[in-house]
Amino acid sequence: MFFSADRPNYMNYGGIGYVIGHEITHGFDHQGRLFDKKGNLREWWHPETSDKYMVRTECMIRQYSNYIADKEARLRIDGLHTIGENIADNGGVMLAYNAYGRWLANKTEPRLPGLYEYSGRQMFWINAANIWCSVYRPETLKHIVLTGVHPPGQYRVIGTFQNQPEFANDFKCPLGSYMNPKKKCKVW
């Protein structure tokens, strides 16, 4: 479930907020950026903006290309093939987190039973990760990696969260740790 008026907003922003942010960001990914406000295929960005954009996407392409979905089969994610979804995931979670932060200002939310030790901001991340929770049969994983434009769910979470300083801050991940690498990629 992505949304319910009967649950804390950290779950709604980490669910439907993330998905909405993801879809909005597609308008500015490697394909969406090529269309103007009327939907016409037209280069409308200033050349300097396009050049900076390409540098930022290269960082993300390298990052995701370093993930190995199946070590035994040596099945590596193709960061170029998944770049549009990776940009959308990274931008979407950032938009949703910032929106949640604005909503949360000077408010508190109830904790979930059994998860009292997690703050609302931490629960945002937990719910955002939960939407990509999945288990694949080996042949399905291979098919996803070789033909899909989305990386497997695990890497949609890891790759996106590694790039978010807010995630590292909320979970107190030391700089240089797996989930808080010194080099982060950011397109938007």
Domain count, the chain: 1
Q: How far apart are CA 159 and CA 121, in angstroms?
A: 19
Query: 132: domain range?
Result: 9-171
Residue 63 located in a structural domain:
yes
> What are 38-83's pLDDT values in tens digits?
999 998 999 999 999 999 999 999 999 999 998 888 899 999 999 9
Residue 134 located in a structural domain:
yes
Residue 160 located in a structural domain:
yes
Residue 120 located in a structural domain:
yes
- Partners of 75 in beta bridges: 70
CATH of the domain at 100: 3.40.390.10
What local confidence, expressed as pLDDT, does residue 2 receive? 84
Dihedral in degrees, nearest 10, Cα atoms 65, 69, 71, 76: -30
Residue 95 located in a structural domain:
yes
Residue 4 located in a structural domain:
no
Q: Structure pTM?
A: 0.94
Residue 71 located in a structural domain:
yes
> What are 118-174's pLDDT values in tens digits?
999 999 999 999 999 999 999 999 999 999 999 999 999 999 999 999 999 999 999
Catalytically annotated residue among 23, 36, 43, 51: 23
Does 43 qualify as catalytic in the annotation?
no
Catalytically annotated residue among 29, 89, 109, 170: 89
Q: How far apart are CA 2 and CA 174, in angstroms?
A: 31
